[in-house]
Structure 1
Amino acid sequence: MVAQITDGVKVSVETTYQPEYSNPSNEHFMFAYRIQIENLSGYAVQLMRRHWHIFDSNGNRREVEGEGVVGLQPVIEPGQTHEYVSGCNLQTDMGTMHGSYEMKRLVDGESIHVNIPRFDLIAPFKLN
Protein backbone atom coordinates (compact mmCIF):
# COMPACT_ATOMS: atom_id res chain seq x y z
CA MET A 1 0.00 0.00 0.00
CA VAL A 2 1.19 3.51 -0.81
CA ALA A 3 -0.08 6.73 0.76
CA GLN A 4 0.37 10.48 0.49
CA ILE A 5 -1.01 13.50 2.36
CA THR A 6 -1.86 16.76 0.59
CA ASP A 7 -3.51 19.70 2.40
CA GLY A 8 -4.68 17.43 5.22
CA VAL A 9 -6.18 14.76 2.95
CA LYS A 10 -4.53 11.33 3.01
CA VAL A 11 -4.92 9.09 -0.04
CA SER A 12 -3.94 5.40 0.33
CA VAL A 13 -3.95 2.89 -2.54
CA GLU A 14 -3.87 -0.90 -2.63
CA THR A 15 -3.90 -2.89 -5.89
CA THR A 16 -4.90 -6.41 -6.90
CA TYR A 17 -4.40 -8.27 -10.19
CA GLN A 18 -7.68 -9.71 -11.51
CA PRO A 19 -6.85 -12.97 -13.36
CA GLU A 20 -10.52 -13.88 -13.83
CA TYR A 21 -11.03 -10.70 -15.92
CA SER A 22 -7.68 -10.85 -17.72
CA ASN A 23 -6.73 -12.52 -20.99
CA PRO A 24 -2.92 -12.40 -21.35
CA SER A 25 -2.94 -14.08 -24.78
CA ASN A 26 -4.98 -11.10 -26.05
CA GLU A 27 -2.83 -8.54 -24.17
CA HIS A 28 -5.61 -7.76 -21.68
CA PHE A 29 -4.57 -7.43 -18.04
CA MET A 30 -7.13 -6.23 -15.50
CA PHE A 31 -6.25 -4.67 -12.15
CA ALA A 32 -8.43 -3.46 -9.29
CA TYR A 33 -7.40 -0.69 -6.94
CA ARG A 34 -8.86 0.24 -3.59
CA ILE A 35 -8.61 3.90 -2.64
CA GLN A 36 -9.04 5.19 0.88
CA ILE A 37 -9.41 8.97 1.29
CA GLU A 38 -9.03 10.14 4.88
CA ASN A 39 -9.80 13.73 5.85
CA LEU A 40 -7.19 14.72 8.45
CA SER A 41 -7.99 18.44 8.11
CA GLY A 42 -10.29 20.55 10.24
CA TYR A 43 -12.86 21.21 7.50
CA ALA A 44 -15.20 19.18 5.29
CA VAL A 45 -14.16 18.54 1.68
CA GLN A 46 -16.09 17.36 -1.34
CA LEU A 47 -14.43 15.32 -4.08
CA MET A 48 -15.43 17.01 -7.34
CA ARG A 49 -13.17 15.56 -10.08
CA ARG A 50 -10.42 13.00 -10.73
CA HIS A 51 -7.49 13.03 -13.15
CA TRP A 52 -5.45 9.87 -13.81
CA HIS A 53 -2.17 9.25 -15.65
CA ILE A 54 -1.89 5.59 -16.66
CA PHE A 55 1.28 3.99 -18.09
CA ASP A 56 2.04 0.46 -19.26
CA SER A 57 5.41 -1.21 -19.81
CA ASN A 58 5.17 -0.73 -23.61
CA GLY A 59 5.37 3.04 -23.09
CA ASN A 60 1.66 3.61 -23.74
CA ARG A 61 0.17 6.51 -21.81
CA ARG A 62 -3.46 7.39 -21.14
CA GLU A 63 -5.15 10.16 -19.25
CA VAL A 64 -8.60 9.83 -17.72
CA GLU A 65 -10.55 12.75 -16.32
CA GLY A 66 -14.05 13.06 -15.02
CA GLU A 67 -16.47 14.06 -12.32
CA GLY A 68 -16.30 12.32 -8.96
CA VAL A 69 -15.33 8.70 -8.40
CA VAL A 70 -17.45 5.68 -9.34
CA GLY A 71 -20.43 7.98 -9.91
CA LEU A 72 -20.14 9.84 -6.60
CA GLN A 73 -18.97 13.24 -5.42
CA PRO A 74 -18.66 12.38 -1.73
CA VAL A 75 -18.42 14.88 1.11
CA ILE A 76 -15.79 13.79 3.62
CA GLU A 77 -16.10 15.36 7.06
CA PRO A 78 -13.05 15.95 9.31
CA GLY A 79 -11.89 12.63 10.73
CA GLN A 80 -13.99 10.66 8.23
CA THR A 81 -12.90 8.29 5.45
CA HIS A 82 -14.31 7.52 2.00
CA GLU A 83 -13.30 4.27 0.34
CA TYR A 84 -14.01 2.90 -3.12
CA VAL A 85 -12.81 0.24 -5.53
CA SER A 86 -12.29 0.74 -9.25
CA GLY A 87 -10.30 -0.90 -12.01
CA CYS A 88 -7.87 -0.37 -14.84
CA ASN A 89 -7.01 -2.53 -17.83
CA LEU A 90 -3.57 -2.56 -19.44
CA GLN A 91 -2.12 -4.15 -22.56
CA THR A 92 0.89 -5.34 -20.55
CA ASP A 93 1.36 -7.20 -17.26
CA MET A 94 3.03 -4.18 -15.62
CA GLY A 95 2.26 -0.50 -15.36
CA THR A 96 1.78 2.45 -13.06
CA MET A 97 -0.88 5.01 -12.23
CA HIS A 98 -0.92 8.33 -10.41
CA GLY A 99 -3.14 11.36 -10.44
CA SER A 100 -5.04 13.94 -8.46
CA TYR A 101 -8.43 14.81 -7.08
CA GLU A 102 -9.97 18.24 -7.30
CA MET A 103 -11.69 18.83 -3.99
CA LYS A 104 -13.71 21.72 -2.68
CA ARG A 105 -13.37 22.94 0.90
CA LEU A 106 -16.94 23.43 2.01
CA VAL A 107 -16.07 26.10 4.58
CA ASP A 108 -15.01 28.62 1.89
CA GLY A 109 -15.58 26.97 -1.52
CA GLU A 110 -11.83 26.95 -2.22
CA SER A 111 -10.61 24.28 -4.67
CA ILE A 112 -7.67 22.14 -3.62
CA HIS A 113 -5.77 19.56 -5.62
CA VAL A 114 -4.98 16.39 -3.70
CA ASN A 115 -2.25 14.11 -5.04
CA ILE A 116 -2.87 10.41 -5.63
CA PRO A 117 0.52 8.73 -5.12
CA ARG A 118 2.09 6.68 -7.90
CA PHE A 119 1.33 3.00 -7.54
CA ASP A 120 2.38 -0.10 -9.45
CA LEU A 121 0.12 -2.48 -11.33
CA ILE A 122 2.01 -5.77 -11.58
CA ALA A 123 0.64 -9.23 -12.34
CA PRO A 124 1.93 -11.58 -9.59
CA PHE A 125 3.46 -14.03 -12.08
CA LYS A 126 5.76 -11.22 -13.21
CA LEU A 127 7.40 -11.17 -9.77
CA ASN A 128 8.68 -14.77 -10.01
Structure 2
Amino acid sequence: MSAIHTDARRFNRHAPTYQRMTPEEKTLGHGGLYRFYDANRHLLYVGITWTFETRWNSHRLTAPWWMLADFVALSFYPGSRNPLHYFETAAITRERPRFNKKIQRVPVKNLCRLAPPLPRFPDGE
Protein backbone atom coordinates (compact mmCIF):
# COMPACT_ATOMS: atom_id res chain seq x y z
CA MET A 1 0.00 0.00 0.00
CA SER A 2 1.31 3.45 -0.83
CA ALA A 3 1.60 6.43 1.49
CA ILE A 4 -1.54 8.34 2.44
CA HIS A 5 -1.25 12.10 2.98
CA THR A 6 -4.07 14.18 4.41
CA ASP A 7 -4.76 17.81 3.63
CA ALA A 8 -4.11 20.27 6.41
CA ARG A 9 -7.14 20.77 8.60
CA ARG A 10 -8.08 22.90 11.56
CA PHE A 11 -6.75 21.43 14.78
CA ASN A 12 -8.55 21.83 18.09
CA ARG A 13 -5.70 21.69 20.61
CA HIS A 14 -8.24 22.04 23.45
CA ALA A 15 -10.24 18.96 22.43
CA PRO A 16 -10.05 15.83 24.56
CA THR A 17 -7.29 13.49 23.44
CA TYR A 18 -9.62 11.01 21.74
CA GLN A 19 -11.18 13.79 19.62
CA ARG A 20 -7.99 15.29 18.18
CA MET A 21 -8.00 12.94 15.18
CA THR A 22 -10.90 12.70 12.77
CA PRO A 23 -12.79 9.40 12.46
CA GLU A 24 -11.34 8.99 8.96
CA GLU A 25 -7.78 9.57 10.18
CA LYS A 26 -8.27 6.91 12.83
CA THR A 27 -8.95 4.35 10.08
CA LEU A 28 -5.77 5.13 8.13
CA GLY A 29 -3.39 3.32 10.43
CA HIS A 30 -1.24 3.65 13.48
CA GLY A 31 1.73 5.90 13.28
CA GLY A 32 3.15 8.22 10.73
CA LEU A 33 4.36 11.76 10.29
CA TYR A 34 2.57 14.88 11.49
CA ARG A 35 3.05 18.58 10.81
CA PHE A 36 1.65 21.38 12.93
CA TYR A 37 1.10 24.87 11.53
CA ASP A 38 0.13 28.20 13.11
CA ALA A 39 -2.85 30.34 12.08
CA ASN A 40 -0.76 31.93 9.31
CA ARG A 41 0.11 28.50 7.92
CA HIS A 42 3.74 28.69 9.02
CA LEU A 43 5.23 25.32 9.88
CA LEU A 44 5.79 24.94 13.61
CA TYR A 45 6.86 21.35 14.07
CA VAL A 46 7.33 18.05 12.25
CA GLY A 47 7.28 14.78 14.16
CA ILE A 48 6.70 11.05 13.90
CA THR A 49 4.94 8.65 16.19
CA TRP A 50 3.31 5.23 16.38
CA THR A 51 0.41 6.65 18.45
CA PHE A 52 -0.64 10.17 17.53
CA GLU A 53 -2.86 10.79 20.53
CA THR A 54 -0.20 9.77 23.05
CA ARG A 55 2.51 11.85 21.39
CA TRP A 56 0.26 14.87 21.03
CA ASN A 57 -0.64 14.63 24.71
CA SER A 58 3.07 14.85 25.49
CA HIS A 59 3.38 17.92 23.26
CA ARG A 60 0.37 19.47 24.99
CA LEU A 61 2.20 19.25 28.30
CA THR A 62 5.69 20.32 27.25
CA ALA A 63 5.93 21.89 23.78
CA PRO A 64 6.31 25.67 23.63
CA TRP A 65 4.57 25.72 20.23
CA TRP A 66 1.43 23.81 21.28
CA MET A 67 -0.65 26.94 21.94
CA LEU A 68 0.21 28.20 18.44
CA ALA A 69 -0.96 25.06 16.62
CA ASP A 70 -4.04 25.76 14.48
CA PHE A 71 -3.62 23.27 11.61
CA VAL A 72 -2.36 19.70 11.35
CA ALA A 73 -1.52 17.47 8.38
CA LEU A 74 -0.80 13.74 8.64
CA SER A 75 1.07 11.23 6.50
CA PHE A 76 0.65 7.48 6.93
CA TYR A 77 3.09 4.91 5.54
CA PRO A 78 1.46 1.47 5.69
CA GLY A 79 3.81 -1.24 4.52
CA SER A 80 6.73 1.10 3.91
CA ARG A 81 10.18 -0.41 4.01
CA ASN A 82 11.67 2.92 5.09
CA PRO A 83 11.76 3.71 8.81
CA LEU A 84 9.58 6.67 9.79
CA HIS A 85 12.60 8.73 10.86
CA TYR A 86 13.72 8.90 7.20
CA PHE A 87 10.48 10.69 6.28
CA GLU A 88 10.78 12.97 9.30
CA THR A 89 14.41 13.90 8.59
CA ALA A 90 13.59 14.57 4.94
CA ALA A 91 10.66 16.84 5.85
CA ILE A 92 12.65 18.74 8.49
CA THR A 93 15.59 19.20 6.13
CA ARG A 94 13.39 20.45 3.31
CA GLU A 95 10.84 22.50 5.26
CA ARG A 96 12.80 23.86 8.27
CA PRO A 97 10.05 24.01 10.91
CA ARG A 98 10.39 26.75 13.49
CA PHE A 99 10.48 24.56 16.61
CA ASN A 100 12.32 21.40 15.59
CA LYS A 101 15.58 21.46 17.52
CA LYS A 102 17.70 19.16 15.38
CA ILE A 103 17.53 20.60 11.92
CA GLN A 104 20.41 19.14 10.02
CA ARG A 105 21.65 18.85 6.50
CA VAL A 106 21.44 15.22 5.58
CA PRO A 107 24.33 13.90 3.49
CA VAL A 108 22.18 11.28 1.82
CA LYS A 109 21.76 12.71 -1.65
CA ASN A 110 18.26 11.48 -2.43
CA LEU A 111 16.73 11.64 1.04
CA CYS A 112 14.51 14.63 0.27
CA ARG A 113 12.61 12.54 -2.27
CA LEU A 114 11.21 10.75 0.81
CA ALA A 115 9.74 13.97 2.20
CA PRO A 116 5.95 13.89 2.13
CA PRO A 117 4.24 16.31 -0.23
CA LEU A 118 3.31 19.67 1.20
CA PRO A 119 -0.30 19.62 2.36
CA ARG A 120 -3.11 21.64 0.86
CA PHE A 121 -4.96 23.97 3.21
CA PRO A 122 -8.69 24.60 3.34
CA ASP A 123 -9.81 27.44 1.09
CA GLY A 124 -10.91 30.67 2.69
CA GLU A 125 -9.14 30.10 6.00
- Shared fold (TM-score, shorter chain, > 0.5): no
Q: Which has the higher helix share?
A: 2
Based on CA coordinates, which of the two structures has the bigger radius of gyration? 1
Flag the structure with more relative contact order, 1 or 2, with Cα contacts below 8 A and sequence separation at least 6: 2
Q: Which structure features the higher share of strand residues?
A: 1
TM-score, with length taken from structure 1:
0.33
